[in-house]
Amino acid sequence: MTRIDRRALFASGAAAALLAAAGMSLSDRPKPGGHLRLAVPRDDSLEQIARGAVFDTLTEIAPDGTLRGELATGWQSEADGRVWKFDLRTDVRFHDGATLTAADVVSSLAEIGLAEVEAPSSVRLELALPDPGLPFRLADSRFAVVRAGAHVSPLEQAIGTGCYRVERAQDNRHFLARRVAEHYKTGQAGWVDTVEVIVIPDAAVRAEALRDGFVDVAALPQPEGLRERSRFRYHPSEDKMALAVAPSVGLPRQISQHAPLDDGRIAERWWIA
């Protein structure tokens, strides 16, 4: 059975030496506090980032592309990958105060296969066909775990177990969420106090908002409109840019080239430097 150690590297006394060896400075370390503002086009970016902030999944893809547990502490399957068992965290609460149960997970997996509670903190999932890559697939926000099978929309009514609780939201327009106190990921993720996502359809206006300091991150297909281009970083690269990032924003040293929105987890992984 896979067991995941979720302790943050930066908590160790050897962090400074390791950071130096990796070419990083202490200023690259995550810092709590601040307000992270993102400008995105009218596509699914707002919903993807909001889901990553409000909801959790059984597994998650780390910034370096590796698989690790989120609500699941471990998993195992039969030889053909058709029957799976997931062990669950026991310290997780929904934003309304309710404790996460195996029954909530079962409800959220109903569309994938035949799921059932095997023990108070474990579930069994039987698939119609073998799927050896299921743990990777379950990291997608489409498989967010919700309370008793509730819907994930509209955003203003969303209640999850993620690092951020919805404070104000309008689908396809605006999203504002605040960090949950005493969350099980405290010290490992969820660095900023609040995260705000604003839909700005015009790329030139998004660039202007970033240039003038009204937002910290902007989704831009090209860096046009950013006259002082050296001020900003471009992710995943300047040639294949998806995001332009202000120098005040800290982000993981490595982010998958295939996930320009950091698998929708910008809100919990990025910080104000």
Q: What's the length of the chain?
A: 273
Q: Is the peptide bond before 154 cis (omega within 30 degrees of 0)?
A: yes
239 and 131 inside one domain? no
Does any domain span residue 157? yes
Does any domain span residue 7? no
What is the rounded CA–CA span in Å between residue 147 and residue 99?
9
| DSSP summary character for residue 18 | H
- 227 Cβ partners below 8 Å, 6+ apart? 211
What is the rounded CA–CA span in Å between residue 211 and residue 272?
17
Q: Are 188 and 173 in contact (CB under 8 A)?
A: no
Does any domain span residue 247? yes
Does any domain span residue 109? yes
160 and 259 inside one domain? yes
210 and 90 inside one domain? no
Could you tell me whether strands 72-77 and 67-69 are parallel, antiparallel, or unpaired per DSSP bridges? unpaired
- 78 Cβ partners below 8 Å, 6+ apart? 84
Q: Which domain holds residue 190?
A: 30-55+152-272
What is the rounded CA–CA span in Å between residue 32 and residue 190?
8
175 and 75 inside one domain? no
Total structural domains in the chain? 2
Predicted TM-score of the model (pTM): 0.85
pLDDT, tens digit only, all 273 positions of the chain: 333 333 332 333 333 333 333 344 445 789 999 999 999 999 999 999 999 999 999 999 988 888 999 999 999 998 889 999 999 999 999 999 999 999 999 999 988 999 999 999 999 999 999 999 999 999 998 899 998 867 777 888 899 999 999 999 998 999 999 999 999 999 999 999 999 999 999 999 999 999 999 999 999 876 666 656 678 888 877 777 789 999 999 988 877 666 678 888 999 999 998
